[in-house]
Amino acid sequence: MVNILVLNGPNLGRLGSREPDVYGGGTLDDLRAELEGEAPPGHAIDLRQTNDEAELISWIYEAVDTGSPVILNPAAFTHYSYALRDAAALVTKAGLILIEVHLSNPFAREEFRHTSVIAPVATGTIAGFGFDSYLLALDAINRKLG
């Protein structure tokens, strides 16, 4: 069984009530159900959320140690966390897939959101499609893993 880690950064635990005009009305539990419905045979979805940078980094180490592909929404850490970037680099340097996702399109928003310190070390980035950003990332993982 391959575990796909779907890691979510700060404030994403409030999906459903947080700025629904920007992020949509679905909750993380709704997202988990959608991803589980699309997981290919032999793959399990392990979706987690934290507001804590250290915890997020420890989950990324876990992905490296267990050889798990990662779908990562770093939320606001996207724009400034060099610590998270260095951890994400460990995943891709290990030859594992790490896809950065965003519900919104940060490039269409405030200027501080136009920088991602994660993107240069990610396998790829998918943004602007709501929950479909995650589903497209899952599809990309399926295709890459063959």
> Site residues (CB under 6 A) for ligand DQA?
11, 73, 75-76, 78, 102-104, 106, 113
Q: How far is the CB of 103 from ligand DQA (least distance, A)?
A: 4
> Among this protein's residues, is 114 annotated catalytic?
no
> Among this protein's residues, is 23 annotated catalytic?
yes
Which residue lies nearer to ligand DQA by CB, 45 or 75?
A: 75
Cα dist. 36→47, 109, 128 in Å? 10, 30, 21
Candidates 23, 43, 61, 79; catalytic one:
23
Candidates 43, 61, 102, 134; catalytic one:
102
Q: How far is the CB of 126 from ligand DQA (least distance, A)?
A: 10
Cα dist. 134→32, 72, 82, 83, 111 in Å? 10, 9, 23, 23, 24
Q: How far is the CB of 113 from ligand DQA (least distance, A)?
A: 4
Long-range contacts of 33-37, Cβ-Cβ distance < 8 Å, separation of 24 or more: 34/131, 34/134, 34/135, 35/6, 35/134, 35/135, 35/138
Q: Which residues does the annotation mark as catalytic?
A: 23, 102
